[in-house]
Amino acid sequence: MFWRSSGISEQSPTLAQATSYLKGIVTEVIREKRAAKEKGVTSGRRDLLDQMMDKDFDDTELFEEVVGFFLAGHETTSNTLMYTVLELCRNPDVHAKLQREISTILPHKESPLTLDNLKDFKYLEQVIKEAQRLHTVVGVVGRNAAKDMKIMGYDIEAGTNINIPIKHIHLDERYWPEPQKFDPERFAEGRAAPVPGSYLPFSDGPHNCIGSKLAFIEAKVVLIQLLRQFDVELIPGQTFKYKNGVTTTLENGVRVKLGLKNKGCDDNFGVQSVVEE
Ligand code: HEM
């Protein structure tokens, strides 16, 4: 069902080849770890795979978990970064304000970025949150009703598949005035929290994202290190088109120029629009 909904046939030879390639790599890592463990060799650091191997997972279950983490964690975070950079390029005032926050918290080239001071980057958090709202990376999540229920007056029978259209909720003007406007102030301290259920970049409930904190750490570190050194600017002449797959990405990505901070890359920031598929 997953592959079909992504427009890929389960019989596709390319899919079979890709799966077998991935399986080969992951199985080899698991095999090496098991062999090292049997010999009592440890690297000193216990990663997630070490911890899962202490549990009762067989190799197939371990493979599925590892691939799940890899797929769930990689493309989602990289797309979030891409959209944030796009909006920084299109909103020079936000770009400048963010660089001011970075140089206040990290005034010197050598000022260390630590897990502790990472939480002081409040404006950066607002910027990422707003990029996640305007460009929803996981546009729809599905659930299957475990029992008969009533939701907002609708009778839902047990066994019904329900799609939750996160992307549309994020652009619904009942919850987000001027929904197409990129405005990190929506998430500023002191502003009313979003209406429950109206902001779901990491979904909600027992199956929500377990990597949201890690994703935020990754995104913050990358953006801080980028913007403390460089100005980012769009290469002119690009048009942007969403491409829906497991995650929503941009067909041709975003091409940017980097210039040394405050020296600029060019004299004008290109403002371009995202075109729906
Ligand atoms: C900005 C980055 C990310 C976004 C937007 C994102 C989004 C999501 C969403 C919407 C779901 C929920 C699916 C549902 O409700 O059915 C989900 C689930 C999940 N995510 Fe993430 N995710 C991100 C990063 C990560 C990272 C870094 C990891 C781990 C390294 C991760 C691991 C997972 C896993 C394992 C699940 C499945 C949870 C379950 O089914 O119980 N995600 N993610």
Residue 197 pLDDT exceeds 60: yes
- Distance between start and end Cα atoms, the chain: 22
Residue 164 and residue 187: Cα distance in Å, rounded? 23
Q: Which long-range contacts (CB under 8 A, 24 or more apart) does 6-15 make?
A: 6/245, 6/246
**If you average pLDDT over residues 226-246, what whole number do you get?**
95
Fold of 57-135+180-191+205-275: Cytochrome p450 (1.10.630)
pLDDT grade for 271, boundaries at 50, 70 and 90: very low
- In single-letter form, the type of residue at position 147 comes to K
pLDDT grade for 7, boundaries at 50, 70 and 90: low
Sheet strands (E) in the chain? 141-144, 149-151, 154-156, 161-164, 230-234, 240-244, 248-250, 256-260, 274-275
CA–centroid distance, residue 216 to ligand 1 (Å): 12
Q: Is the CB of 138 under 6 A from ligand 1?
A: yes
Q: Is the CB of 131 under 6 A from ligand 1?
A: no
Structure confidence at residue 3 (pLDDT): 52
Q: Is the CB of 238 under 6 A from ligand 1?
A: no
Task: List the beta bridge partners of residue 162.
Answer: 143
| pTM, rounded to two decimals | 0.86
Q: What mean pLDDT, rounded, does the chain reach? A: 90
pLDDT tens digit sequence for 10-64: 678 888 898 889 889 888 988 888 888 888 877 777 888 888 888 888 888 888 8
**If you average pLDDT over residues 229-251, what whole number do you get?**
95
Structure confidence at residue 115 (pLDDT): 94
In the block, residue with structure tokens 């902001």: 199
Structure confidence at residue 8 (pLDDT): 62
pLDDT tens digit sequence for 94-130: 999 999 999 999 999 999 999 999 999 999 999 999 9
200 Cα nearest atom in ligand 1: 10
Tokens linked to 257: 């120029």
Q: Is the CB of 209 under 6 A from ligand 1?
A: yes
Residues of the binding site? 209
Residue 263 pLDDT exceeds 80: no
Q: Which of 1, 62, 76 maximizes ligand 1 atoms within 8 Å of its Cβ, making it the mutation to test the pocket?
A: 76
Residue boundaries of the structural domains of the chain:
57-135+180-191+205-275
Question: How deeply is 8 buried, as exposed, middle or buried, from its count of CB atoms within 10 A (0-12, 13-18, 19+)?
Answer: middle
Q: How large a percentage of the chain has pLDDT more than 90?
A: 66
CA atoms within 13 A on the CB side of 62: 21
Backbone angles phi, psi at 149, to 5 degrees: -155, 170
Structure confidence at residue 2 (pLDDT): 53
